[in-house]
Structure 1
Amino acid sequence: MIEWSPATISAFQTTLLAWFDREGRDLPWRHDHEPYHIWVSEIMLQQTQVQTVIPYYERFMAWFPTVTALAQAPESQLLKAWEGLGYYSRVRNMQRCARQLLADYEGQWPKTATELTELIGIGPYTAGAIASIAFNEPVPAVDGNAFRVFSRLLEIDADIAKPQTRSLFEKVIARIIPKDRPGDFNQAIMDLGSSYMTARNPDSAHSPVKDFNQAYLDGKELDYPVKTKKPRPVPVDYVAVLAQADGQWLMTQRPSNGMLANLWTVPLLKVADLDLAEDYLPADLELAIQTYFQQEYQLRVTGFDLGLKPVKHTFTHQKWTIQLFGAKVEQPDLAYFPGKLVSTAQLTTLPMPKVQEKIWDRYQPK
């Protein structure tokens, strides 16, 4: 690992911040230093690209302009606002955090990274971002961009998949971050990592900090950051049952715990839970679906293969392959069914996960 002298650190700060002043991205959450705005944007940006987040952020702010509005929002509206971003536990934790701020902090944000990590759902990176940008605390905000940028600048070969590596980067960056503009510095690193110093196909030859990029100068920047591979997601087979009764769709609400909690989907049956032989045929699956609905929900359905290509959707730990079956519900008594019949017009009012959108798109291509 390279260690910079104080003179090099000063030169890097000057170069980076001058570039940020000229070319920093104009993003809606950068128009002020309001911690609520920074927090919402940072939670949304986890696992999601900036251009995708912007309309979600603007709608979220229109619906929940303050911490109080977020704390008081009904869960159905909360999930609808987040629909398509995935990882719904994040927005649930945001509401819990908003309520914690009102109950324990009189609605006022803590001003240090250490205090911010006491809030529900706020980890070291988000705490660093809020503290540095909103409150000018000179603390690093170490995310994927920071790992990539600084591992290349300084040829840090520690494995970023290991939890202890974060503290190493935090110590290194703490020596480099300027005391007077820590928020701009952290945002400049974010912009650098998403432009000239991307994971693949970086453009370091035109980077404003190319003279400081030791991995680029040594011709091995794609060797950084060092990261061991995650295990592959486990494949899981499902059947989506697009069932109708009296022109309405049978929709079910997922349990309050587990994947896609409280979101609405068509009934999704795990193939492993159905009584099927390994070499089952479509007719066997039709019968298994009818039996399952009869035994679990006391509903009589007639299922049929729609002849459509399966939908595939990958979560962090699972990869779903979903066959699509149509069905007719006879004498729909939903006393034992965890859901309801919904008209086509009403479907858009239900908070649904991305995988359900894929199912609709496959059934009725746009």
Structure 2
Amino acid sequence: RRVLARLFAVDGDARRVAVRRRLEALARSLLPSDRPGPFNEALMELGATVCLPRAPRCDRCPLAEVCQAHRAGAEERYPARMAHRPLPHYQVAAAVILRENGRVLVARRREEDFLGGLWEFPGGKQEDGETLQECLVRELKEELGIGVEVGERLLTLEHTYIHFRITLHAFRCALREGEPRCLECADWRWVLPADLEALPMSVADRRIARAVQMWTDEGVLP
């Protein structure tokens, strides 16, 4: 694509569908029907050894005289690339609520939600103007109808999804009011830490689950 974009001075990001289709059409127009394999191999070799992304070796290029980008002195302008936008970054709080019998509370996301059907430690995204502790109190009331007291922070981890990234803070919490109900979740359970491994979870929640299991095995969490 880089060779063709320079040869024909094709504007636009080669990752865009319309630009990619134009480059493919140009490639087909040049492709000799009797020797397509050697032609493609030669084109790839040219891109790998001469028509480099930076500092292309135009003095060694057999196509330099007909290359529109070279004739304009704009070899490194092609192919154009879109500027990468920074991924949105969210602060997320999760609750580790243990009962006297050693079971921990988990909730299952609704099917229509992001990561639908997966189990998680209940919580959610921090909103403007609230602390992480306030975020947890609000989210657990909205999601499960329970009141909690937020205690120590147990774990902080980073995770990146395709379109955003999160910093996830897991807090130890105590149940102070009510019993869980499915208000904004599909299901909930009190689960032994050893049984968390059997539940389908996101990568981030799985890391919390394994930490909880390790801490309970070592007696850090009663």
- Fold equivalence (TM over 0.5): yes
Query: Which structure has more helix as a fraction of its residues?
Result: 1
Partner of 1:225: 79
Structure 1 residue corresponding to 2:126, chosen from 268, 271, 282? 271
> How far did 1:239 drift?
0.6
Higher normalized contact order (CA 8 Å, seq sep 6+, divided by chain length): 2
Query: Is structure 2 residue 24 aligned with structure 1 residue 158?
Result: no
Partner of 1:311: 157
Q: Which has the larger radius of gyration?
A: 2
Give, as a single letter, the amino acid of the residue that structure 2 aligns with 1:158: D
Any residues of structure 2 matched to 1:127-206 within 5 Å, and which? 147=1, 150-151=4-5, 154=7, 156-160=9-13, 162-176=16-30
**Identical-pair percentage:** 22
Whether contact under 8 Å (1:252, 1:340) holds in the other structure is: yes
Query: Which structure has more strand as a fraction of its residues?
Result: 2
Q: Unaligned regions of 5+ residues in structure 1, if any?
A: 1-146
Q: How high is the TM-score relative to the length of structure 2?
A: 0.61
Note the alpha carbon deviations across 1:194-223, whole angstroms, 9 max, x for none. Answer: xx59xx999x99xxxx967979xx798765
Structure 2 residue corresponding to 1:298, chosen from 145, 153, 156? 145
Call closer, same or farther: CA 1:304–1:212 in 2, change over 3 Å: farther
Whether contact under 8 Å (2:109, 2:119) holds in the other structure is: yes
Any residues of structure 2 matched to 1:52-201 within 5 Å, and which? 147=1, 150-151=4-5, 154=7, 156-160=9-13, 162-176=16-30
Note the alpha carbon deviations across 1:18-46, whole angstroms, 9 max, x for none. Answer: xxxxxxxxxxxxxxxxxxxxxxxxxxxxx
> How far did 1:168 drift?
0.5
d(CA) in 1 for partners of 2:106 and 2:91?
20
d(CA) in 1 for partners of 2:32 and 2:176?
69
d(CA) in 2 for partners of 1:312 and 1:341?
26
Call closer, same or farther: CA 1:149–1:331 in 2, change over 3 Å: farther
Q: How high is the TM-score relative to the length of structure 1?
A: 0.41
Secondary structure class of the residue paired with 2:116: coil
Call closer, same or farther: CA 1:164–1:348 in 2, change over 3 Å: same
Structure 2 residue corresponding to 1:251, chosen from 78, 87, 106? 106
Secondary structure class of the residue paired with 1:323: strand
Call closer, same or farther: CA 1:333–1:163 in 2, change over 3 Å: same
Q: Unaligned regions of 5+ residues in structure 2, if any?
A: 216-222
